[in-house]
A and B are shown apart, each in its own frame.
Chain A
């Protein structure tokens, strides 16, 4: 089979993009907000929220995959017409650019804090955007291929860390108090919102070779991310204690420093872990830039060349990292955006539903 057909990805690549893109970034941004609400029961909240997101994605994609054709943009234009689809694209575009931009800001800050103090945050962001632009220029299939490798590497490394750290967990810290129990559902809602990257999922799913299996791919991806985050959060809370875990900006990453690797040559393991997080940032920013430039290309079809859209997407994503004044500012912005994620479910299924209705007529 000749599978050099750019702009189509396999179901495995879809799964890998979601795992690689979400895993690293949610490991930084999601647990903090959930720990604040649920305390020691944060891992339960993440599990519930993630499961809910996975199930909802599965149901929605299963119901709407019959409408998937070529790409989300083509599907929208054909089923809704240019006018309505233009407005729809604008909303999705803003969402994806904001998502990519805010995560970029957090990523750059994390790089500066844990990996390289000498690198300015703006400069780290610039590098990430440039790499993402290079990747986006190559197309979604290139991003999918990279994600396949990155996801496997990340999961193997994370599994190893978990296996080594698990015996030394202090389970008493994870006992839930009655007050924390009441916060489980609030935390679960936050976790659900953070996992609901509907914009990305519905834009990528039609690009798969076999759209009928997209639902399962997305479901399994979200489940994997949920399992890793849930266990990682439990591990970091038991490691730091609750108060310190609440204070830490990126507890799951910094928890790696407490892991005693047998025969380890490296003193500060969390810096090694940050490397995989950087890969995840590249992939998420890359897919944001790619999807947003693709949307722009469809919105302004009169412009034949692709590079202005890519440039515009890069600039937009880069510019957003100036919005947050500090790390907490960045986190507040991303949490605000996460809360908007459930609305994106409704917005994103308009096109496939319209396509199905149009087909039946």
Chain B
């Protein structure tokens, strides 16, 4: 019996047909940009790294037109090397591509179709052409790649979120819209601020920096962010230590309402002389600032009927009876949102 097993093993090996590409035979795609193209096609731009020997590698960008937004290595090749998506770090969707729902849906379904692509891939959107963004970040050549940006700029990211493929899929399943962080880049700099609102996979509008910050607080993502207030013409930065929200749904005069209580704990990054009264004033200033940002974000989202906060899903899970009473299509748009912020200073 052992001989039979050994023989079958040998034959199986020889006939396995398995084989991989050598690592140096791959181009490592780090960024992918998707723009709209003529007809039903898309213009996909890949920013990839080619190993060159002698510890050097060059970064390039290459665009092709393709009928699908979710490309695989079978569609694109560059010279003798295979395009390898295992190290894809970011996907940038151009604004024009978001005028059709297919690109976003295809990107979000990429996780199940291609196991090479990690669920940690960052999704970004751009008001400019994604191909320009990708070419800029690829062409800079000195390492300012998108994947380094989040790692190297943790403290600066008070006006943006990190939206991964996994998170986007989760939100897309439960909400009728998502907010995709916005990127802008040139040869020198990368900047990620604000966000693009997508309702039903389609472009609706955008959140500016302040509104994006408000959105972040509404999503309970404020921890670690920095909030700056101005007191007596002095700027006082505060680090947000905790951001916890409580949402209560109720009916008020036949209208669906929600009270969103944002509780924030903050710690000042600079030392100041406070007396008790001024400390309360400072807390009040912070509350007011955060509340304004949150309200403007909520108003913007409501105006585009983009329930990126997942309020509808939360209501469905908490009180399905109340949820069923209202039309799901307009529920978020017509919801009366009352945002209250309370700040505790450490």
Contacts and interface: CB of A to CB of B under 8 A. Distances in A.
A136 B77 CA distance: 47
Contact of B317 (A177, A239, A258): A177
A316 to B, nearest CB: 16
Given A177-B317, A244-B173, A123 B12 contact: yes
B118 interface: yes
B322 interface: no
B320 A240 contact: no
Nearest to B1: A307
Interface string A107-150: 00000011011111001001100100110010000000000000
A137 B2 contact: yes
Contacts, number: 70
A249 to B, nearest CB: 9
A113 to B, nearest CB: 6
Given A118-B19, A137-B1, A244-B173, A175 B317 contact: yes
B16 A123 contact: yes
A179 interface: yes
Contacts of B314: 172
B169 interface: yes
Nearest to A115: B115
Interface stretch (B3-11, B198-206, B207-215): B3-11
Interface in A226-249: 239-244, 247
B17 A120 contact: yes
Interface in B146-179: 166, 169-170, 173-174
Contacts of A239: 166
A117 B117 CA distance: 13
Contact of A240 (B19, B166, B318): B166
Is the contact region of chain A dominated by helix, strand, or loop, or is it mixed?
helix
Contacts of B190: none
Interface string B301-325: 0000000000000101110100000
B142 to A, nearest CB: 23
Contacts of B12: 123, 126-127, 130
B317 A130 contact: no
A177 B324 CA distance: 14
A83 interface: no
Contact of B318 (A123, A175, A244, A268): A175
A320 B18 CA distance: 23
Given A118-B19, A175-B318, A134 B2 contact: yes
Given A177-B317, A267-B118, A119 B16 contact: yes
A244 B20 CA distance: 31
Given A114-B115, A119-B18, A130-B9, A311 B170 contact: no
Contacts of B5: 130, 133-134, 137
Between B118, B173, B316, the greatest number of chain A beta carbons within 10 A of the residue's beta carbon is seen for B173
A173 B312 CA distance: 14
Nearest to A254: B119
A137 B1 CA distance: 8
B112 interface: yes
A310 interface: yes
Given A177-B317, A243-B174, A244-B170, A126 B8 contact: yes
A310 B174 contact: no
A257 interface: yes
A178 interface: yes
A241 B166 CA distance: 10
Contacts of A311: 1, 4
B320 A179 contact: yes
A172 B119 CA distance: 22
Between B2, B19, B119, B169, the greatest number of chain A beta carbons within 10 A of the residue's beta carbon is seen for B119
B170 A130 contact: no
B115 A241 contact: no
A113 B112 CA distance: 10
B1 A310 contact: yes
Contact of B320 (A119, A123, A178, A257): A178
B240 to A, nearest CB: 18
A284 B85 CA distance: 34
A258 B119 contact: yes
Nearest to B19: A118
Contacts of A120: 16-17
A117 B12 CA distance: 17
Contacts of A137: 1-2, 5
Contact of A241 (B1, B18, B20, B174): B174
Interface string B78-118: 00000000010000000000000000000000001001001
Interface in A343-361: none
B119 A257 contact: yes
Contacts of B87: 267
B5 to A, nearest CB: 5
Contacts of B317: 40, 175, 177
Contacts of A134: 2, 5
Interface string A302-339: 00001100110000000000000000000000000000
Contacts of B166: 239-240, 258
Given A116-B18, A310-B1, 13 more contacts: A119-B18, A120-B17, A123-B12, A126-B8, A134-B2, A240-B166, A241-B169, A243-B170, A244-B170, A257-B119, A257-B120, A306-B1, A311-B4
Interface of A: 40, 113-114, 116-120, 123, 126-127, 130, 133-134, 137, 172, 175, 177-179, 239-244, 247, 257-258, 267-268, 306-307, 310-311
Interface of B: 1-2, 4-5, 8-9, 12, 16-20, 87, 112, 115, 118-120, 166, 169-170, 173-174, 314, 316-318, 320
30 contacts: A114-B115, A116-B18, A117-B115, A118-B18, A119-B16, A120-B16, A123-B12, A123-B18, A127-B9, A130-B9, A130-B12, A133-B5, A137-B1, A137-B5, A175-B317, A175-B318, A177-B316, A177-B320, A239-B166, A240-B166, A240-B170, A242-B174, A243-B173, A244-B170, A244-B173, A257-B120, A258-B119, A258-B166, A267-B118, A268-B118
